[in-house]
Structure 1
Amino acid sequence: MMEILESTKSLNLPDWWICAGFIRSKIWDVLHNFSERTTVPDIDVIYFDPINIDVLEEKKLEEKLKCLIPNIPWSVKNQARMHVKSNMPPYSSSVDAISKFPETATALGVKLDEKNNVILTAPCGISDVIHLEVKPTPYFTETKERAQIYKDRITKKNWKSTWNKIKVYHINSHY
């Protein structure tokens, strides 16, 4: 994980984070006493650069990361443009974007500071991820369309088949 963080830091991206499954899966693997880390489909690198929102820039950054660590499935996204793809109001920062991820257990980001200390952002807190609970972020409870996105992701991701101790909350559940 440190090699992935160090490689990403070397790009000097503005407001960068590695987020989502990179962190959540590691926490759940540890809490399930897995001896090996589960495979993550991709490593989500996000950053916030309103000056250059060209998707080709993201592909160039993915290629740079592939040169540093070739066997990693990199996914680089500029959050200054992702609101368009997601049909949402513009984000003000990468942390704002993370706060609007569908699940609280996924709304996490890590990066390295200038002294290579690991920094965590958790706009929805860490309680749910460490208590093995999957709940929608507040943003995904505001409209029927967003609630459906959450429901669809829960079905598609099927996390319980890998981490059987998690508890999935549905939109209509009372927390």
Structure 2
Amino acid sequence: MNNIQSEQDIIELIKNDQLMMEILTLVKDLRLPDCWVCAGFIRSKVWDVLHGFKVATPLEDVDVVYFDSKNIDSSTEKKFEEKLRHMNPNINWSVKNQARMNIRNNDSPYKSSEDAISKFPETATAVGVQLDSENNVILTCPCGIEDLINLIVRPTEHFIRNADTKAEIYEERLQKKNWQEKWYKLNIIHML
């Protein structure tokens, strides 16, 4: 499937990827509140398919977000990372409680994981996936999927509205990630 046009197409990509489904199952087993696997986990899969890659681009890490305002101690996140590492040591797990990430990001408090995802730097990265109680794949894309499936990298509305403090962060991230080296069809929209 090199033609991805809808959220359902993305869901089907994920459902047909054994490793992605294994990762989602491991994360679901943690039973974290408002929990999603997000960012590059989905973005890279979509971009790989749209570029016709036969071999998946290796993930730097697997981002897991959840929302628990009752316990914002960062050491708790490390415990969840360790549990996941014990279940699958071949993955570099990153677990973050979005109820505290607003502090690190110098933002107003987030209302939920989906609210936090909407404030990620790029629209193409602002996506998350989870398994529901019946193991259906659920996708959240608070910024839509248009940029993701059209290979456009642009800042989210949150970054645009806060350009005075976020533009430099966005540009540094683009430089560090250097996505066009892997995915040559990308159209990068800069803030500076």
With the length of structure 1 as denominator, give the TM-score of the two structures: 0.96
The aligned counterpart of 1:33 is: 52
Cα distance in structure 1, aligned partners of 2:191 and 2:147? 15
Report the alpha carbon displacement of residue 7 of structure 1 after superposing the two structures with TM. 0.2
Tell me what 1:20 maps to.
39
**Aligned equivalent of 2:62:** 43
SS at match of 1:119: strand
Q: Which residue of 1 aligns with 2:150?
A: 131
| 1:152 Cα offset (Å) | 1.2
Is 1:162 aligned to residue 182 of structure 2? yes
User: Which amino acid in structure 2 is aligned with residue 18 of structure 1?
Assistant: V
Alignment of 1:18-167 (within 5 A): 18-143=37-162, 144-167=164-187
**Aligned Cα root-mean-square deviation (Å):** 0.8
How far did residue 156 of structure 1 move? 1.1
Structure 2 CA distance, aligned partners of 1:38 and 1:114? 30
- Matched to 1:135, the amino acid is R
State the TM-score, normalized to the length of structure 2.
0.88
Q: Which amino acid aligns with 2:38?
A: C
Partner of 2:21: 2
C-alpha separation in 2, matches of 1:112 and 1:70: 21
Displacement of 1:171? 2.0
SS of the residue aligned with 1:105? coil
How much does 1:147 deviate?
A: 1.4
Name the CA distance, whole Å, in 2 between partners of 1:120 and 1:142.
25
Over residues 50-94 of structure 1, what are the superposed CA-to-partner deviations in whole Å (9 max), with x where a residue is unaligned?
001111100100011111111100000000000111111110000
SS in 2 for 1:120: strand
Gaps of 5+ in 2: 1-19
Deviating runs (4+, > 6 A) in structure 1?
Answer: none
